[in-house]
Amino acid sequence: MSDDQRDQNPAEPAAQAPGPTGPEPEPIPFFGTTWVNHDGGYALRRVGLALGSLVTAIAAAVLLRLSYEGLEIGNVGPFLSISVVVLFAIASSIAFAKTWESFSRRPAPSSDEAALKGLKAIGFIGSLIAYFLRCLGEAPGEKLRRAEYERAQADFARRRSSRTGNPAARRPKRKK
């Protein structure tokens, strides 16, 4: 190997395995891990996602309105027209409540979340509104993940802290 080749490809020292650095924060969709330090365009992402979910909810409401007018043009009758409106209102309110609840606690393993997926898909406007409202204050799910992350950091620090002295060399406690 010539001197020129050695200068271009310097030998890198062997990578040492770093010691444990602690728990890693869980990424939030659209935010990654920027929620930890509120850096990397965190505020801009929150504003963008809030506006995006609001615009999408408005567009969906307009689409539902056009669908309702299509039912009116088709003369399907008042029962079906009212049923469709009530169905979307109930589905949207349930989707809002379940989405809002999911930002503050994790679902139980045996919960009915899988059974509600269809209902939440029908009431997607409620989910979009919940997402919009949560983005006004914080990233959706940030409070839950921050509490879990801080708890994991505290547990890690407690496990990694060293004890003082040799426990075998301690004097036995005096009996009174």
Q: What is the value of pTM for the model shown?
A: 0.74
Question: What distance in Å separates the CA atoms of residue 117 and residue 115, rounded to the nearest whole number?
Answer: 6
DSSP state of 30: T
Reported as half-sphere exposure (CB side, CA atoms, 13 A), residue 165 has a value of 5
**Rg value, the chain, Cα:** 28
Question: What distance in Å separates the CA atoms of residue 80 and residue 93, rounded to the nearest whole number?
Answer: 20
pLDDT at residue 59, rounded to an integer: 96
pLDDT at residue 50, rounded to an integer: 94
Contact by Cβ (8 Å): 30, 141: no
Nearest to 83 by CA among 122, 110, 137, 115: 122
Contact by Cβ (8 Å): 74, 105: no
pLDDT at residue 135, rounded to an integer: 93
pLDDT at residue 91, rounded to an integer: 93
Question: What distance in Å separates the CA atoms of residue 15 and residue 68, rounded to the nearest whole number?
Answer: 64
Contact by Cβ (8 Å): 93, 123: yes
Q: Residues of the chain whose pLDDT is less than 50? A: 12-15
Q: How far is CA 83 from CA 66, 87, 144, in A?
A: 16, 6, 37
pLDDT at residue 133, rounded to an integer: 94
Reported as half-sphere exposure (CB side, CA atoms, 13 A), residue 99 has a value of 24
For residue range 24-68, what is the model confidence (pLDDT) as tens digits? 888 888 888 888 888 888 899 999 999 999 999 999 999 999 988
